[in-house]
Structure 1
Amino acid sequence: MKNLKINNRFTVELPADPNEENEVRQVKDALFSYVNPTKPSNPKLIHASKEVAELVGISADEIQTESFLNTFSGKEVLPGTRPYAMCYAGHQFGNWAGQLGDGRAINLTEVEHNDQNFTLQLKGAGKTPYSRTADGLAVLRSSVREYLCAEAMYYLGVPTTRSLSLMLSGDQVLRDILYNGNPAYEKGAIVCRVAPSFIRFGSFEMLSARNELKNLKQFVEYNLKHYFPEIKGEPKDQYLQFFKTVADKTREMILHWQRVGFVHGVMNTDNMSVHGITIDYGPYGWLENYDPSWTPNTTDSQNRRYRFGNQPQIAQWNLYQLANALYPLINEAEPLEKILESFITDFDRDYKGMFLSKLGIFTSTEADDKLISGLDTVLQLSETDMTIFFRNLSKVQKSDSVDEAIEKIKDSFYLPEEIKGDILESWKKWFTVYLQRLNTEELSDQVRSEKMNQINPKYVLRNYMSQLAIDAADKDDYSLIEELYLLLQKPYDEQPEFEKWFAKRPDWARSKVGCSMLSCSS
C-alpha cells in the first residue's frame, strides 16, 4: 500500500491507555488502548471493493498483492502505524452497561486521501481489552452480512460505513448462533470497514459517567476540530451546535432507514455514530411484509424495543443520553431539551414529505396525513411486501380505475387469496382517495414514475439472499457474493438480468435461521 497517506490523529491527540497488555480490564482516563490484531493462520481474500480501495488511496492492482492480504487480515501491521481499540460505554436495550469498547474491532490506522480522512478498522481481528468474556473473532456468516450490507446501504443512498475487504482467517471459531446451548465451530472471517471515524455516542457517555470532564472537553473539541470545523463561536455555543448537528444527521439517517424499510436491530447508544452513519451491522433486516412492529433481533423479540416503527423514538432516546453526557460542559438543560423536543417534530415533518414522495406526491396538504395513515393500516391487513408494493405503485397511472391500480400492486401480496371481502374493500377505499390525489398533481405519469423509482428501490438485501450467499461461501463458492455485490450497486435500476431477485421472501425462508430472526452473533 505504497500510496496510503497515514494520518493518525486519534492516537496522537487523545489520551492513550498506558497499559499495553492485551488483557480484559476496566480502562480509565483513556479513549483507546493499543492492541495488535490476532494473526490469522491462513488468510484468504474472498472479495474486495475496488471503489472503496480507491477511495482511501489503494490501487486496484494492490488488492491482489500479498501486502493487501496480510494487512487487512491482521497478519501484518502497516509501517508507521499502531493499531488500537476504542474505549466507550453505552446503554444496551435501555439499560446502562458501563464500559463496553471495541470488543471485536481493531482500528488499523487513519488515512488521508483526496482531502478526505478515513479510519480503517478490522472487525473480527481478535481479542482486545474490551472483549469481556468473548474472543474478539467473527465468523463467515456475520462477516458476509456486514460486508454486503454496508455497500448495499451506500448505493441505496443511506449514510453508512463502507466495506473494503472480506477475508477468511483460516481458523475455526466456536459460536452458539441462537444462544441455546448448542455451540458449533464455524469458519473465521475478517471484514475491513471504512468510515470517517467510529466515534459513538457511548464514547461521550463513558467520559461523563466517570466524571473525566477534562477528557470529555478535549474529546468534544477534537470532534469539532476534525469533523465539524464549520462550527464556530464561544465554547458553550459550539458544544450545543455540535449536539444539534449530530441530532440533525441522526434524523436524516433514520429517515433513510424508514424510506427503504431497513431495521437496524440493535440501536444501543454504543452503536450510534456522531457522523449520522449506520454502523455495526448485526441482526439487521429489511421489512419483508410491511409490519412496523417487526424486529430482526432474537434478543429483542419479547419487548421489540428496536422494532421498525420505533426507530425514530429510539434515536431521540439515544440523543437524550448524549445530551446528558454533554451537559457537564454546558450546564444548561433548556437548550438541550429544545433540540431534543424538535427532533421528533422535525422528523414527523420530514417523514411526511418522504412518505409522500414514495407515493409519487411532491406537494403536501393537511389531508395527506389521512392518506399516509390509511396506507399504513391497509398494508397490515394482509402480508404485503413493502419493497415490491412501493416499486410497483409507480406503474399506477392517473387514468387507472381502482381495480386496475390494485391489479398492478397485487404481486406484493404474500397471501393473495386473503384480498377479498373487507380487506379488498379497504384497499379499494384507499386507492379511490389515492387516485383522486394523484390527479391533483401536475407531473405526468412518466415523470412521476421516474421520480418514484429513484426513491423506492427495486432491490434490497433481503436476509434470505444473504443466507444463500453464506451457504454457498461455506462451500467455498463465492460467486453469489459477487452477484449480489453487483446487483446491489444499482438498486434503483431495472437490471432485467437480475429480475429473479425482485421477488417476495420464499416460504422456506420464513422461519429458517438467518432468514427471519437473527441473534446478536449474526
Structure 2
Amino acid sequence: MKLHIKNNFTSELPADPIEINTPRQVQQSAYSYVLPKKPSNPSLIHASNEVAHAIGISDEDLLLADFLHIFSGSTIYPETNPFALCYAGHQFGNWAGQLGDGRAINLTEVIHENKIYTLQLKGAGPTPYSRTADGFAVLRSSIREHLCAEAMHYLGVPTTRSLSLMLSGDQVLRDVMYNGNPAYEKGAIVCRVAPSFIRFGSFEMFASREDYVNLKLLADFTIKHHFPHIQGEGIEKYLAFFQEVTRTTLKMILHWQRVGFVHGVMNTDNMSIHGITIDYGPYGWLEDYNSGWTPNTTDSQHKRYRFGNQPEIALWNLYQLANALYPLIKDAKPLETILDAFSTEYEKEYLDMMRNKLGFQIKKESDIVLIQSLTQLLERVETDMTIFFRNLSDVTKADLAITAFDSIKDAFYNEKDLDETVLKDWYDWLEKYSIRINEEILLDTERKNQMNAVNPKYVLRNYMAQLCIDDADKGDYSLLNELFEMLKKPYDEQPNFQKWFAKRPDWARDKVGCSMLSCSS
C-alpha cells in the first residue's frame, strides 16, 4: 500500500514543544504530536471502497495486513508524525476555552490526483486535549459515524467521509445516558477523511489568547493550501476567506434543511472552515416534521440546536469566527456586511430549495405563502417528512384534492389525528398546490423525476442505525452492509429495500438511541 504523504500542516505550523501525552493547556501551538494507542486485537468491520480510491488505496490494499495495522493505529506509516489539533470553541453558546482533539488523532495528510486529504482516527486513544476522557470510542457511536458520513455524501450534503470502521478488541467504559449507570462496550476506531479538520475554533483559540502571530500563520496556511484561488494579500485576502466560509456554511445548512438532518451539537469547535459536516455525535433525521426537535439529550431543555434553529446558529457561529479573524482585519464594517447578507441570502436560497422540493421551476412571489402554510400544516399532526415529500411527487396535474391526499396520506403517523379542521386545511393546500403545478411547463413525469432527485427516499433513520448497532454488538454485520449499500443510492427507488421506506415504528418512539441520544461516545 503506497500513500503519497504530505506533511504541510506539521511542517508549516507551530507544534507543541512538550511531547508528554498528558492533559494540559497547550500554548502557542496549532497541534501536539501524539501516537495512537495500539489496540489489543484490531479487526476490520467495514471499509468504503470509494473513499479508499479517492486517497489512492486500491481494493486489493484493503485486504492487506498493512491496511488493518495503519488504520487501527497499530502501526505508524513511514515518514508520518501523528498529531492532535489544538482548538477552542463556544459550546451551547458559552465560551469553553481550549478543547482540541480529545479522541481524534490525525495520521497524516495525503495527496492523490491533486487533492489533499487529512486522514484522522477517531477513538485511537488519549491526547493532551482529552481532559478527563479516555480518548477512545465505542462501536455504537462509531457505526453511527461511519454510516452517516457516507450517507450524507450520497445525499449530496457536504461532509467528511469515512474510510474504515474497525473493532479495537478492547472494552471501553461508557455511561450512555449520563445517569450514573456506566457499562463496558466494545471499543472501535473510525478513519475520517476530509481536506482538513481546521475548525472555527482553531482560529478562536489563537484569537482568545491574543496570539496574533500564530493566528496569522494559521490563516495564511489555510488560504494557501485550501483556498489557493484566493489571490491578493492582507485584509482583502482574509475577507475573501471569511466570505467563502460564510457562503459554503450557508450551502451546507441548506442541504441539512433539505433532507431533514439535525446535527445536534453545532458548537463552534464542530464547524469546519470547508463548509462540510463534521463530528457526527447525537445527530438525527426528522421523523415527523418538527422544527423544534433536537436529537441531543444535553440540549433537550433549551433546544438551542433544534432543526428550525440551525440557520440562526450557523450565523451565530460565523459571528464568532468573524470576531476571531478581526485582529487580522482591524475593521468590523466589512465583516458585518458579509454577516448581514447571510440571512437575506439564506431566505432567498431556502425559498429556491423548497421550490425544488415541491417541483416548481417557475418562480412566483406567491410561493412564499404556499411554502409557509405547508410547513405549518406539516407540524399540525405527526407527518413523516421524508415520506411526505417523496410521495408528493406522485400528485398529478389532473388530481383533485381528495385524490392528491391519497398520494400523501401514508406520511401521517396516525390518520385519526386528522380531524375535520386539519383535513379541510390539507384539502385547501392541495387544491392550491394543484393550481400551482398546472402553471408549470413540465409534464407530470418530468416533475416527478425532478422532485425525486432532491427528495430522498431513504435516509439513515435513528432506529435503523440502532438495529444495525444491536446486530453488530452480537457480531452480525449483515445489516450494516445492507444499509451501507442502500444509502449509496438514496434517491433511487431500490424496490429490494422498500421495507426501509417506512415511518419510524412505535417501539422506536422513545427508545434510547432511536429518539434522542447523548454525546457519549
| 1:360-413 residue CA offsets vs partner (Å, 9 max, x unmatched) | 011222111100100011101110000000000000001100000011000000
Structure 1 counterpart of 2:305:
306
Q: What residue number does 1:164 align with? A: 163
Secondary structure of the equivalent of 2:442?
coil
Task: Choose 120-129 or 59-68, whichever is displaced more.
Answer: 59-68
Q: Secondary structure at the match of 2:350?
A: helix
C-alpha deviation, 1:445, in angstroms: 0.5
Matched, 1:235 2:234: yes
Note the C-alpha offset of 1:232: 1.1
Partner Cα distance (2:274, 2:129) in 1: 23
1:45 match: secondary structure? strand
Report the alpha carbon displacement of residue 420 of structure 1 after superposing the two structures with TM: 2.8
Report the alpha carbon displacement of residue 75 of structure 1 after superposing the two structures with TM: 0.7
Cα deviation 1:32-73 (Å, max 9, x = unaligned): 000000110000100001111111011111111111111111
Q: How far has the Cα of 1:521 moved from its partner?
A: 1.2
Residue of structure 2 equivalent to 1:75: 74
Report 1:361-440 matches (<5 A): 361-440=360-439
Partner of 1:111 in structure 2?
A: 110
Distance 1:184 1:488 in 2: 31
Q: Which amino acid aligns with 1:90?
A: G
Match of 1:257 in 2: 256
Q: How does 1:340-359 map to 2 (within 5 A)?
A: 340-359=339-358
Matched AA of 2:464 = M
Mapping of residues 95-110 of structure 1, within 5 Å: 95-110=94-109
Q: In structure 2, how many angstroms separate the alpha carbons of the residues matched to 1:266 and 1:364?
A: 35
Contact 1:137 / 1:173 at 8 angstroms: preserved in 2? yes
How far, CA to CA, are the matches of 1:166 and 1:376 in structure 2?
Answer: 38
Q: How far apart, CA to CA, are the structure 2 residues paired with 1:407 and 1:382?
A: 17
Q: Report the Cα distance in structure 2 between the residues aligned to 1:166 and 1:103, rounded to whole angstroms.
A: 19
Contact 1:353 1:362 in 2 (8 A): no
Offset at 1:456? 0.2
Listed one character per residue, the Cα deviations across residues 149-194 of structure 1 (whole Å, up to 9, x for unaligned) are 0000000000000010000000000000000000000000000010
Letter in 2 for 1:214: V
Q: What is residue 57 of structure 1 aligned with on the other side?
A: 56
Deviation at 1:233, TM superposition (A): 1.9
Q: How many residues align?
A: 521
> What CA distance in whole angstroms lies between the structure 2 residues aligned with 1:65 and 1:378?
54
The residue identity in structure 1 corresponding to 2:268 is T
Deviation at 1:225, TM superposition (A): 0.4
CA distance in structure 1 between the partners assigned to 2:269 and 2:362 by the alignment: 38
Paired AA for residue 40 in structure 1? P
Superposed counterparts of 1:137-286, under 5 Å: 137-286=136-285
SS at structure 1 position matched to 2:71:
helix
Deviations 1:438-497, CA, capped at 9 Å, x for gaps: 111111101000000000000000000000000000000000110000000000000000
Secondary structure, counterpart of 1:302 in structure 2:
coil
Unaligned ranges ≥5, structure 2 = none
Write the distance in 2 (CA, Å) between the matches of 1:204 and 1:234: 19
3-state SS of 2:171 partner: strand
Matched-pair contact (CA < 8 Å) for 1:402–1:432: yes
List per-residue Cα deviations over 1:322-346 (Å, max 9, x = no partner). 0000000101011000101101110
Q: Which residue of 1 aligns with 2:19?
A: 20
For residues 79 and 202 of structure 1, the distance between their equivalents in structure 2, rounded to whole angstroms, comes to 30
Q: Is the 1:73–1:167 Cα contact (8 Å) retained in structure 2?
A: yes
1:473 aligns to what?
A: 472
Q: Equivalents in 1 of 2:363, 2:321: separation in Å?
A: 33
Amino acid at match of 1:13: E
In 2, Cα distance between equivalents of 1:152 and 1:300: 24
Q: Quick one: distance in 2 between partners of 1:487 and 1:35? A: 37
The 1-side partners of 2:313 and 2:8 are apart by 31
Match of 2:258, SS?
Answer: helix
**Once the two structures are aligned, what percentage of the paired residues are identical?**
66
Partners in 1 of 2:408 and 2:239 — Cα distance?
Answer: 47
Encode CA deviations 1:111-152: one digit per residue, 9 max, x unaligned: 000111100000000000000000000000000000000000
What is the rounded CA distance, in whole Å, between the counterparts of 1:369 and 1:6 in structure 2?
50
Q: CA offsets per residue over residues 188-213 of structure 1, 9 Å max, x none?
A: 00000100000000000000000110
Cα drift, residue 15 of structure 1: 0.3
Cα distance in 1, alignment partners of residues 151 and 130 from structure 2: 28
Question: Letter of the aligned partner of 1:257 in structure 2?
Answer: W
Q: Equivalents in 1 of 2:306, 2:454: separation in Å? A: 22
Structure 2 counterpart SS, 1:346: helix
Counterparts of 1:308 and 1:241, CA distance in 2: 29
Partner of 1:122: 121
Given that 1:294 and 1:307 are in contact with CA atoms closer than 8 Å, whether structure 2 keeps it comes out as yes
| Structure-2 residue corresponding to 1:455 | 454
| Structure 1 residue 234: Cα displacement | 3.1
Q: TM-score, normalising length from structure 2?
A: 1.00
TM-score by length of 1: 0.99
Tell me if 1:443 matches 2:450.
no
Name the residue aligned to 1:85. Answer: 84
Separation in 2, partners of 1:196, 1:362: 34
**What is the alpha-carbon distance in structure 1 between the residues aligned to residue 153 and residue 254 of structure 2?**
14
Q: Secondary structure at the match of 2:441?
A: coil
CA RMSD of aligned residues (A): 0.6
Aligned partners of 2:396 and 2:271: how far apart in 1? 41
3-state SS of paired residue (1:219): helix
Q: State how far apart, in whole Å, the 1-side matches of 2:512 and 2:49 are.
A: 32
SS at match of 1:131: coil
Q: Give the whole-Å Cα distance in 2 for the aligned partners of 1:451 and 1:485.
A: 25
- For 1:169 and 1:480, the matched residues in 2 are separated by 20
Do the aligned partners of 1:146 and 1:282 also contact (CA within 8 Å) in 2? yes
Distance 2:73 2:225 in 1: 27
